[in-house]
Amino acid sequence: MITKRIIPCLDVRDGRVVKGVNFEGLSDVSSPVELAKFYSDNGADELVFYDITASVEGRALFTDILKKVAETIFIPLTVGGGINTVDDFDRVLKCGADKVSVNSGALKNPNLIYEAAKKYGNQCVVISADVKREDGKFTVYAKGGREKTDLEAVSWIKKCVDMGAGEVVLNSIDTDGVKGGFDLEMLDAVCNAVNVPVIASGGAGKKEDFVELFTKIPKADAGLAASIFHFKEVEIPDLKRTLKENGILVRI
């Protein structure tokens, strides 16, 4: 049977990994290439790369780094950040990305999902949603969680899947950074609404949070996290052993 996936996420700005990184055994901990290789060699099932560069020069540097990463790792690679047009899809796919994650770009122009899925296939288009509770409703936020929209999250995500998104990254703003576990209630609502893989993001602080995720939300396909892996608070081989001991199928 298919295994549950563990996905480290690397935020890259001006060619470097940002957010805290605390690694021993790597000569340059902020090099996305070295870090990606480390994760690939140490049990990550997939990698997500976010381009949080603002400038055009930074974007060119990102593409350069992306190519080097894609040459170095032999696991699936998803790229997001600043994807607004089909040309942006083309740009990162040519550098070796397997999937492209859209967020604000799809909010501005939902048709982007349809156009990209038609051109590259549903499996290539990942809808990433930043979601927060507002008056008891799951509300979608744009621009990295800074801007509130009028959209209700479950219906928005369902619409994206209907338009061709082949995978969902659900990032709960409410649990993000709190390290108290994934947002099970939000994940449950989304997992029950769509029939494509759902990647849980936001809230993981320890191994047990992943055990709880996959035990309580069996429909969740993957768990994504950044700093807990970068800081070695959770090490992937150890995490996978724990998941396996708890009867959760993982690739070891």
List residues with catalytic annotation: 11, 130
Smallest separation (angstroms) from another protein to the CB of 123: 5
Smallest separation (angstroms) from another protein to the CB of 93: 6
Residue 52 is a binding residue for another protein (CB under 8 A) = no
Asked whether 2 and 45 are in contact (CB, 8 A), the reply is no
Nearer to another protein by C-beta: 88 or 167?
167
What residues numbered 71-110 form the site for another protein, per CB under 8 A?
A: 71-72, 74-76, 93-98
Distance CA 240, CA 252 (A): 7
Element holding 51 (H helix, E strand):
strand 47-51
Asked whether 33 and 72 are in contact (CB, 8 A), the reply is yes
Question: Segment near another protein (CB under 8 A), from 15-23, 24-32, 68-76, 178-186?
Answer: 68-76
Question: Segment near another protein (CB under 8 A), from 8-16, 103-111, 122-130, 133-141?
Answer: 122-130
Nearer to another protein by C-beta: 178 or 252?
252
Element holding 133 (H helix, E strand):
strand 125-134
Q: How far, in whole angstroms, is CA 89 from its chain's centroid?
A: 16
Q: Which segments of the chain does DSSP mark as H helices, in order? A: 32-41, 56-72, 86-94, 104-108, 111-120, 153-162, 184-193, 207-216, 227-230, 236-245
Give which of 117, 111, 198, 118 is closest to 157, Cα–Cα.
Answer: 198
Smallest separation (angstroms) from another protein to the CB of 41: 9
Asked whether 52 and 79 are in contact (CB, 8 A), the reply is no
Asked whether 221 and 45 are in contact (CB, 8 A), the reply is no
From 10, 32, 33, 40, residue interacting with another protein (rule: CB under 8 A): 40
What residues numbered 156-185 form the site for another protein, per CB under 8 A?
A: 166-167
Nearer to another protein by C-beta: 41 or 238?
41
Asked whether 239 and 210 are in contact (CB, 8 A), the reply is yes
What residues numbered 2-21 form the site for another protein, per CB under 8 A?
A: 2-3, 5
Smallest separation (angstroms) from another protein to the CB of 40: 7
Nearer to another protein by C-beta: 107 or 165?
165
- Chain residues in the site for another protein (CB under 8 A): 1-3, 5, 40, 45, 67, 70-72, 74-76, 93-98, 120-124, 166-167, 195-197, 221-222, 251
